Structures are given as C-alpha cells and as structure tokens.
Amino acid sequence: MHQVQTLGQKLSYKEKGLADYACNRFARAIAAIDVMIKRYNALGIDTTELRAKREETVALGTAIFISNSDILTQLSVRVGKTGSKEPRSGSR
C-alpha cells in the first residue's frame, strides 16, 4: 500500500523539532532559542537551562494556540484519536 505524505510531514520527519513550531503562538521565540542552543553548543556552554526554557515555551505556546482555536479544533484535541483502545495521555 502506498502512503501519501504532505510536504509538511516530510519536512517534520527530516528536521527534528520543526513540529514544535507548528500551531504554536511562540514559534519565533522557540526558533530563537534553538539558534542560541546551537551557538552555545558550538562554544561548549551548558544549554540545560535553555532547553528547559524551550520546553516551557513550546508547552505554553501550544496551549495558547489551542485555547484561541475554533471550537471544532478544541473538541478534536480533547477527543483525540477515534477508534483507539489506548487512553489519551493526561486522561483519568
């Protein structure tokens, strides 16, 4: 069976971390943090705090995007994948 992929899916597979920019109100800030992490790594500077800040920024930017999205998008996120026997992460 042949699988169809969009250009975005191919880019996301090729460039790890790219998916964090999508649907995120802070995509530019995340990209700036990524540039700083690369520069710090090249200089041998510890990036632990920058990586933690990046994770916080991704989470917050995603939450803001979802909360500002249309009701159908919000319901889709809440429901998750249909037809799955596995519980969603964060479900009780």
Can you give the residue ranges of every domain in the chain?
13-78
Does residue 1 surpass a pLDDT of 80? no
* Locus of tokens 């917050």: 60
89 confidence band (pLDDT: 50, 70, 90): low
Does residue 85 surpass a pLDDT of 80? no
Does residue 84 surpass a pLDDT of 70? no
Number of helices and strands in the chain (H, E): 4, 0
Mean pLDDT of the chain: 87
Give the whole-angstrom CA distance, residue 40 versus residue 57: 18
Query: Considering the entire predicted model, what is its pTM?
Result: 0.74
Pair 50, 60: CB distance under 8 Å:
no
Give the whole-angstrom CA distance, residue 6 versus residue 9: 5
φ, ψ of residue 70 in degrees (nearest 5): -65, 165
Question: Which pLDDT tens digit goes with each residue over 23-63?
Answer: 999 999 999 999 999 999 999 999 999 999 999 999 999 99
